[in-house]
Amino acid sequence: MISTLKQKIHLIFQNRKFAKNVLILTSGNVIAQGIIFVMTPILSRIYSPTEFGHLAIYVSILAILASIGSLQFDRTITLPKSHTESANLVFLSFLILVLVSLFSSMLLWLFQDGIAEVFHAKSIKNFFFLLPLSLLAIGGNNILNSWAIRKGQYTTISGIKVIQSGWMVLTQVIGGLLMNGALPLLIGDVLGRASGNSQFILRIFREDRSTFKQVRLDQMWKLIKRYRKFPLYFNQSVLVRQLTLEMPVLLLMATYGASLVGLYVIVQRILSMPLYIIGTSIGNVYLSEASTRLHQTPTELKILFWNTMKHLVMIIVPILIIIVLLGPFLFPIVFGEEWGNAGKLLPILSCMYLFQFIVIPLESTLSFLERHDLIMVRELTRFIFIAVALLISNWINASPFLAMTLLSGAGSLSFIIHGLLLWLSIYQFEKKFNIVVENT
């Protein structure tokens, strides 16, 4: 019996439905990121590294705000058995998002001068009026995307990713030809994030109107109490994580200036492509499959986890080898001589992105197992590693390339620990589940 079960689980990646869902999401990501990648050499000739650096600061601040946009209630949408409960969570998430956006706009207005002074870029405060709009757009997209994942609407998700990328780069290219400065980059970012939300809403109106009519305040209150760990514990972990992710951009900007940050952003865009194109799609399907097995066949989680990780390793290793070998030579040719130094950062940062690609698609494991304690350990560990690396760089007055090397090493170690914590959560869950079964 056990042998038969293992054989069935081994075929998870050969299951037609699973493979089809991965293919649909992957194709959308491939096209969306392909649009960005193809247009990046054009954008790099329209905008300077400094202007890309200003975009990076804007996106970093936005990402920090977005990490608490709905207090993580958007991550609970896939968890309930009932679609009605999920609809209540969608509505609750939007209410919280609006309140957080209003509060954020007030804080930005009060502290805009101080923020601009810290990052030695006084012009960026002129762009802060866009941040609340971007927050509503990205937060709304996260909420609606979670609902679409729950409903298995992978084709819709895939198509919207393409639309968002198209609007973003179109606005940035046309805007850059019409005016100087970084403002068109930021406007394109806002329009790109907002452009797909209308399609999500339209589909809900057509197919799920009756479900959303059952949204009630008393039901939302019950769900707040049921999933209270997400805003109380998980939200802090996500905030720490986002601060850690954005720390390199923020500190590099304050220490080395916008030009180096612009180079770093381009390298991030190249090395992150495999994660966005393939890893995110596999991660979404993994979340859907794992959530189902959590309610129906919990013993399958471990094998699903290892099979997914094995495929991620097989995908990313050859891709990074090609990037590392050819990237430094091709970078000045593809993106322009002004961006030549960015190619030298590719080999340095590739190690960190190797472990990131393997671990990030599986990180939802801690969420659906409700291991908020391990989530906090993971984020604090990463925060400490990255902070120490950057503080050492500042203390020894390191060159930009040495600072990137220390950053890559710290990031790699933190992702390895992240992976070990994921495995620990599954091991402890399986052990606890077996004890419960034996006692019954």
C-alpha to C-alpha distance for 60 and 243, rounded to whole angstroms: 9
Which amino acid appears at position 187 of this protein?
Answer: I
Tokens at residue 167, please?
């609007």
Q: Which of 153, 134, 140 is nearest to 196 (CA)?
A: 140
Tokens at residue 54, please?
């200003």
* pLDDT confidence of residue 6: 39
C-alpha to C-alpha distance for 238 and 378, rounded to whole angstroms: 10
For residue 84, the number of C-alpha atoms closer than 13 Å in the C-beta half-sphere is 9
Which amino acid appears at position 122 of this protein?
Answer: K
C-alpha to C-alpha distance for 152 and 83, rounded to whole angstroms: 12
C-alpha to C-alpha distance for 241 and 234, rounded to whole angstroms: 10
3-state SS string over the chain?
CHHHHHHHHHCHHHCHHHHHHHHHHHHHHHHHHHHHHHHHHHHHHHCCHHHHHHHHHHHHHHHHHHCCCCCCHHHHCCCCCCHHHHHHHHHHHHHHHHHHHHHHHHHHHHHHHHHHHHCCCHHHHHHHHHHHHHHHHHHHHHHHHHHHHHCCCHHHHHHHHHHHHHHHHHHHHHHHHHCCCCHHHHHHHHHHHHCCHHHHHHHHHHHCHHHHCCCCHHHHHHHHHHCCHHHHHHHHHHHHHHHHHHHHHHHHHHHHCHHHHHHHHHHHHHHCHHHHHHHHHHHHHHHHHHHHHHHHCHHHHHHHHHHHHHHHHHHHHHHHHHHHHHHHHHHHHHHCHHHHHHHCHHHHHHHHHHHHHHHHHHCHHHHHCCCHHHHHHHHHHHHHHHHHHHHHHHHCCCCHHHHHHHHHHHHHHHHHHHHHHHHHHHHHHHHHHHHHHHHC
CB 134 within 8 A of CB 195: no
The sign one gets for the Cα dihedral 235, 375, 143, 32 is positive
The sign one gets for the Cα dihedral 229, 232, 234, 235 is positive
Unique residue bearing structure tokens 């472990």: 355
3-state SS string over 229-249?
HHHHHHHHHHHHHHHHHHHHH
- The number of residues making up the chain comes to 440
* pLDDT confidence of residue 4: 40
Q: What is the mean pLDDT of each run of 10 residues along the chain (440 residues)?
A: 40 55 74 84 88 87 88 86 88 92 87 77 76 90 89 84 89 89 86 82 83 85 85 76 83 81 85 76 78 70 87 89 84 82 85 91 83 82 88 86 90 92 88 60
* pLDDT confidence of residue 359: 92
* pLDDT confidence of residue 89: 92
Q: Which of 193, 81, 203, 73 is nearest to 143 (CA)?
A: 73
pTM for the model: 0.74
Task: Residue 131: count other Cβ atoms within 10 Å of its Cβ.
Answer: 21
Cα 104 to Cα 62, 238, 244, 406, distances in angstroms: 10, 17, 20, 33
